Structure 1
């Protein structure tokens, strides 16, 4: 098999596995969704990065010396139906790179990233990824069993908190703005002041 060193060598209509993904040797950022290649947006803008760093600092401090670990993109997360056991690379057809994820089961971690559903995922919306995060990834994370999923909307300075119910479906627990505080259902003592998450946005407007 010839080396894949350019995205143009791949057929975007073909279905690929994570085993294929590992052999590709090019710099284009992409995710694999149900075997289909999904090109990622260009590098996140400054506001996106500032919000990500704000969360990263808070979560790193909270989880330091705890069992759960926090990871920021780029970081491969392999997903599949939560009803299935851990799969081999050749059987996995979805790999995503959440902006931030918290993993409390060390057995899911290996040299490549996370093999299975993180406990908590945070995605920061941008013009290039809103549809993917709000629809495609919503369904992926629900199917895979990501217990808690936050969508962060920089434009409206809002956070949407979704949590799996007993039937395995997401329910909106909270929709908060920069006048509120919020905490993950999984870690109720982790209080996050929403205004602090978006303070860089306000600085840009002044």
Structure 2
């Protein structure tokens, strides 16, 4: 812990020399401000309640599929980015940040060819925009191509995290405008 200073610790509860939840207060006492995700076969309600009381960010029961772990790690990365980039102007901002960390179903894995990092970047840009944003504007703000920006924006619309409206001009196709839903 001293050497690596991890952001996230994957912690089993059945350790050879002590119960895993007893590790968390030791980490805090030693000054480690890391997040903890429990990965354990411990199915007892007291273990789950204890994990929640100790502030674990997630609890995954063994055995599990790699895709389940991957989805949880990706959700954690997005939430951590949301917390690090949070600007709190009022209660709605606090509620939005806390709701992102609420327990619930693991979001679907991103489609092939999409990265968590780019999704986080596009999401942050969309969230921080007052009003709506076009794919071209998003590309200019993020540095990704217009095609990539459009693909990520459409993904957020498909999963219910963005709303789309059309702006009609004098000629050509209407412009698709995206608004973050949270």
The bucket for the TM-score relative to the shorter chain is under 0.3
Higher relative contact order (CA 8 A, sep 6+): 1
Structure number with larger C-alpha Rg: 2
TM-score w.r.t. structure 2 length? Answer: 0.28
Higher relative helix content? 2
TM-score w.r.t. structure 1 length? Answer: 0.26
Higher relative strand content? 1
